[in-house]
Structure 1
Amino acid sequence: MTDTHAGADPDADGVEPLAPRQLGAYFALMEAVSLLQHGVEQQLRAEGDLSYVQFQLLARLTDAGGPLTMTQLADGVVYSRSGLTYQAGLLEKAGLISRGTFPEDERAILVTITDKGAALVRRLLPGHVEVVRRLLFDALADDDLHHLGDIMSRVRDHMRAQPPRSAAPRKRRQAR
């Protein structure tokens, strides 16, 4: 069921504004995500000197159980190619990942978590879980958790049905 303005007037661009409940849900979601990400980022910086994105990359590599391409990582963490290349460079310099060419396609770069990187994820995980539990899950009853998981899975799947960011053509720089 959608919450729409019956007969709401479009703005100057012809776009119908969000209904009050839609706007409220959007702002609550964005604030909750920002607060959760801030809490997680603080824990990761304090305990492991990692950014949230760096931890996401290491966690994805750990979860994958093997190497991933840079494109798979970019799509998985929803991060720009250039930003990912920069972050991967920092992680490689710290000895947490290694990068190499893909035998079947030399254009693709394979990323592998090192033993040092896997050990860091294992060390950070208890604190990470504590922060997530305290900030997110402690506020929810079991039924709430079921509904939240269902809702967010549907929203994520809807968003993921769009072509991945890696499939978008790169923007060309204009000549000056």
Structure 2
Amino acid sequence: MSDATSSLDPVQLGAYFDLIEVTSLLRHAVEQQLRESGDLSYVQFQLLARLGDSPTGSHRMTDLADGVVYSRSGLTYQVGLLEKEGLVVRAPSPDDERSVTVTLTGAGRELLAKVLPGHVEVVSGLLFAPLSHDEVRSLAGLLAPVRDHMRATPPRSAASRRRKGGA
């Protein structure tokens, strides 16, 4: 990698490794808290949280897959597990009979309310505690354009599904 365009400078490499380590440590702690307080996986929590944030408590399966950056087949499996536990229900979409809508149940809302305080505590304690409010604002300002750039050319699981024939 002698070509300057094919390597990272020391600052870039350090920032990359710091980001990977912070992400791994935070995700591990969050996953542990979710398992202990609600027997949920990280992806299952993301699904419940997205549904809980929706005014209707519902989303189409494809929109959930796009939002949580997860394969559609993996998402179908995870939603199936949540449905078996009575935390969500699936039904044909009222807007498009080819789509499936997932809706949070009362039990799902209760579980989300149970695990959310611990989740907030872990995220606040590990990610935000060592930073000032201005540093958190700067971090958000730095991450947003990176996220937007990555979303502009997302992996298939994060790409919005485009219909053929303009439907």
Q: Judge same fold: TM > 0.5, yes or no.
A: yes
Q: Tell me, yes or no, if structure 1 residue 49 matches structure 2 residue 39.
A: yes
Q: How many percent identity over aligned positions?
A: 58
Which protein is richer in helix relative to its size?
2
Contact 2:62 2:161 in 1 (8 A): no
Output the CA distance in 2 between the equivalents of 1:65 and 1:160.
24
Shift of 1:161: 2.2
Match of 1:154?
Answer: 145
TM-score, normalised via structure 2 length: 0.89
Amino acid at match of 1:103: P
The AA in structure 1 aligned to 2:102 is: V
Taking only aligned residues, the RMSD between alpha carbons, in angstroms, comes to 1.9
- Asked if 1:165 is matched to 2:159, the reply is yes
Q: Which residue of 2 aligns with 1:17?
A: 7
Contact 2:90 2:100 in 1 (8 A): yes
| Aligned: 1:83 with 2:74 | yes
Name which of 73, 93, 97 aligns with 2:64.
73
More displaced, 15-24 or 159-168?
159-168
Instruction: State the match for 1:38 in structure 2.
Output: 28
CA distance in 2, matches of 1:104, 1:127: 36
Number of equivalences: 159
Show the 5 A alignment for 1:125-164.
Answer: 125-162=116-153, 164=158
Aligned to 1:108: 99
Secondary structure at the counterpart of residue 71 of structure 1 = helix
Q: Judge conservation of contact 2:30–2:119 (CA < 8 Å) in 1.
A: yes
Q: Whose radius of gyration is greater, 1 or 2?
A: 1
Higher relative contact order (CA 8 A, sep 6+): 2
